[in-house]
């Protein structure tokens, strides 16, 4: 084969590869414009709902959520068990727990609220640890974190169950 024949063959093969540029879609049988089948439908992406990190609806779920928070806060197993034992003795892991504290004469001195039995005289209100009773009842995760902060600061004695040792029966 002569050089010019070889070059002509390469040129013609190249034109064949680029011929689709000069043909209208209607002229090509298998072109997508002429296809008789409908393309598959792709479902719209679903919004992924993240599970709520903590559940407080039952004492079992509240205990689990408390232990998860203890893990997040870096507590060791023994510390986690201590926090849970105090909460169990104080509220039974019931976020709706309420304890009315009365003086000897029967008048109300204060009330303890929620899973952590937060005292409304000392810790709830403007300028205190929690802004309102409603906040304490609707943010048990914040209450548990505050309890851990108090524990780390050596103030677990704020809870009567710790002071009187009644928490010990709930330790493993």
Weakest mean pLDDT among 18-27, 58-67, 136-145: 18-27
pLDDT confidence of residue 24: 56
Using 50, 70 and 90 to split pLDDT, how confident is the model at 47? low
H/E element, 137: helix 133-138
Residues 75 and 28 in one domain: no
The rounded distance, in Å, linking the Cα atoms of 152 and 74 is: 11
Residue 108 has a pLDDT of 96
Tell me the three state secondary structure of residue 84.
helix
Flag whether 145 is in a domain.
yes
pLDDT over 90 (residue 161): yes
What average pLDDT does this structure show over 81-110?
97
My answer on whether 151 and 69 are in the same domain is yes
Based on the domain organization, do 97 and 159 belong to the same domain?
yes
| Same-domain check for residues 28 and 64 | no
Burial 112-124 (b: 16+ CB within 10 A, else e): bbbbbbbbbeebb
The residue behind tokens 């479902």 is: 43
**One domain, residues 18 and 66:** no
Asked whether residue 20 falls in the same domain as residue 84, the answer is: no
Residue 67 sits in a domain whose CATH number is: 1.10.530.10
Helices (H) and strands (E) in the chain, counts: 6, 3
Q: How many domains does the chain have?
A: 2
Same structural domain, 148 and 73: yes
pLDDT of residue 53: 81
* Within a domain: 47: no
Are 24 and 64 members of one domain? no
Give the range of the structural domain holding residue 22, as residue numbers without chain letter: 3-34
Q: Is position 84 within any domain?
A: yes
Residues 158 and 110 in one domain: yes
- Considering the domain architecture, whether residues 88 and 153 belong to the same structural domain is answered as yes
Is 26's pLDDT higher than 60? no
Q: What integer is the mean pLDDT of 54-61?
A: 96
> Is residue 83, in this structure, part of any structural domain at all?
yes
Kindly state whether residues 63 and 22 are assigned to the same domain: no
User: Tens digit of pLDDT for each residue in 103-130?
Assistant: 999 999 999 999 999 999 999 999 999 9
How many beta carbons lie within 10 A of that of residue 37, not counting itself? 6
Average pLDDT on 30-50 reads 58
Tell me 29's DSSP state. T
Taking the whole predicted model, whether its pTM rises above 0.75 is answered as no
Shared-domain flag, residues 162 and 84:
yes
């Amino acid at each position: 084969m002569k050089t010019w024949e070889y070059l002509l063959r390469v040129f013609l093969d190249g034109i064949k590869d680029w011929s689709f540029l000069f043909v209208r879609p209607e002229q090509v049988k298998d072109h997508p414009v002429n296809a008789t089948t409908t393309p598959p439908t792709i479902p719209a992406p679903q919004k992924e709902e993240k599970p709520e990190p903590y559940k407080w609806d039952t004492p079992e779920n509240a205990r689990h959520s408390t232990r998860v928070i203890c893990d997040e806060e870096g507590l060791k197993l023994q510390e986690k068990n201590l926090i849970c034992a105090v909460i169990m003795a104080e509220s039974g892991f019931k976020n709706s727990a309420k304890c009315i504290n009365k003086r000897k004469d029967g008048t109300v001195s204060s009330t303890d609220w929620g899973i952590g039995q937060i005292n409304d005289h000392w810790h709830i209100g403007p300028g205190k640890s929690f802004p309102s009773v409603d906040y304490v009842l609707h943010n048990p995760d914040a209450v548990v974190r505050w309890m851990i902060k108090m524990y780390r600061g050596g103030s677990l004695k704020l809870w009567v169950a710790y002071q009187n040792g009644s928490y010990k029966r709930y330790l493993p």
